[in-house]
Amino acid sequence: MQPLRIATAQFEHHNGDKQRNQKALRQLAEQAKQQGAQVVAFHECCLSGYAFARHLSFKELQEVAEPVPSGESTQWLIQLAQELDLTLLAGLFERDDSGKVYNTYVGVNSSGMIARHRKLHPFIHPQITPGDKYTTFKLHGWTCGMLICYDNNILENVRATRLLGADILFMPHVTMGTPSTRPGAGFFTAEWNTRETDPTSLRHEFDGLKGRAWLMKWLPARAYDNALYVIFTNAIGMDDDQLKNGCSMVLDPFGDIIAECRHLGNEVIMATCVPEKLTQAGGYRYQQARRPELYQHILTQPHTSDQKIVWLPSSEQN
Asked if residue 307 has pLDDT above 70, the reply is: no
Model confidence at 8, in pLDDT bands (50, 70, 90)?
very high
Residue 153 is given by DSSP the state: G
User: In this model, does residue 314 exceed pLDDT 60?
Assistant: no
**Within a domain: 147:** yes
Q: Are the beta carbons of 192 and 238 closer than 8 angstroms?
A: yes
What average pLDDT does the structure give for the chain?
94
- Cα 25 from Cα 11, distance rounded (Å): 8
In the predicted structure, residue 75 carries a pLDDT above the cut 90: yes
- The answer as to whether 78 is a domain residue is yes
Q: Are strands 4-10 and 39-41 parallel, antiparallel or unpaired?
A: parallel
Residue 317 lies in a domain: no
Residue 304 lies in a domain: no
State how many domains the chain has. 1
Is residue 316 scored above 50 in pLDDT?
Answer: no
How long a stretch of residues is the chain?
318
**Rounded to the nearest 5 degrees, what angle is found at the Cα of 37, between the Cα atoms of 168 and 195?**
95
Give me the mean pLDDT over the 289-311 stretch. Answer: 78
> pLDDT at residue 77 above 90?
yes
pLDDT digits (tens, 9 = 90+) for 198-230: 999 999 999 999 999 999 999 999 999 999 999
- DSSP 8-state code for residue 312: B
**Residue 149 is part of which domain span?**
4-299
Percent of the chain whose pLDDT exceeds 70: 96
Query: Rounded mean pLDDT of 11-16?
Result: 95
The mean pLDDT of 97-103, rounded to a whole number, is 97
Distance from C-alpha of 248 to C-alpha of 144, rounded to nearest angstrom: 18
Query: Is 305 domain-assigned?
Result: no
What pLDDT score was predicted for residue 200?
Answer: 95
Q: Would you say residue 317 has pLDDT above 80?
A: no
pLDDT at 315 over 80: no
21-45 pLDDT, tens digit each: 999 999 999 999 999 999 999 999 9
Query: Which of the four pLDDT bands, split at 50, 70 and 90, describes residue 301?
Result: confident
Q: Mean of the pLDDT values across residues 261-270?
A: 97
Which residues lie closer than 8 Å to 87 by C-beta, 6 or more apart? Answer: 38, 39, 40, 81, 107, 108, 109, 114, 139, 140
Q: Give the pLDDT confidence score for residue 288 in this predicted structure.
A: 93
The per-residue pLDDT for 232 is 98
What is the arithmetic mean of pLDDT over 118-147?
96
Question: Does the structure show a pLDDT above 70 at 109?
Answer: yes
- Strand 267-273 relative to strand 39-41, pairing: unpaired
Q: Does 167 map to a domain?
A: yes
In a domain, 276, yes or no: yes
Is residue 310 domain-resident? no
CATH code of the domain in which 233 resides: 3.60.110.10
What average pLDDT does this structure show over 96-124?
97
Average the pLDDT over 89-115 and give the result: 97
